[in-house]
Structure 1
Amino acid sequence: MKNFLQAIGQSTRGFLREEEGAQVVEYALIIAVVSIALVVALKALTTGGSFTSFIDRVNKCLTTTTCT
């Protein structure tokens, strides 16, 4: 029983020292913050209009020579 508890203790210490999971969480948080920033930026760019009109305006600017 003592060996079993020692093995569990060693496994737990190894798990707590593992840093790969922490990196995944950090990347997920970075992606979440960037996503929120993009949504806020797009919201600011569509002042007075809808998101669809903004996309239409971007499409017009990319496909024609005149941009309004």
Structure 2
Amino acid sequence: MLTPPQDTSQEGQGLVEYALILVLVSVAALALMMLLGPQIGNLFQNILDSMRAASGS
């Protein structure tokens, strides 16, 4: 039996879309880490200082 020709132009479209989404999420996460990194570091340092003061060290 003869089968109709398949449209091969859209075979990798889904994979490309997922790759683009992954790249966009990665760039957004990296930007957030760069912007909020120092503040998060200061927060952890303050917590550590409070714990040291409470333990008497």
Range into which the TM-score falls when normalised by the shorter chain: 0.5 to 0.7
Consecutive unaligned residues of structure 1, counting only runs of 5 or more, are 1-9
Report the TM-score, using the length of structure 2 for normalisation: 0.52
CA distance in 1, matches of 2:18, 2:34: 24
CA RMSD, 1 decimal: 3.4
Q: How does 1:33-48 map to 2 (within 5 A)?
A: 33-47=24-38
Shift >6 Å, 4+ stretches: none
Identity within the alignment, %: 29
Which residue number in structure 2 is paired with residue 14 of structure 1?
A: 7
Unpaired stretches in structure 2, ≥5 consecutive residues:
52-57
- Residue of structure 1 equivalent to 2:18: 27
Aligned residues: 43
Output the amino acid matched with 1:25: V
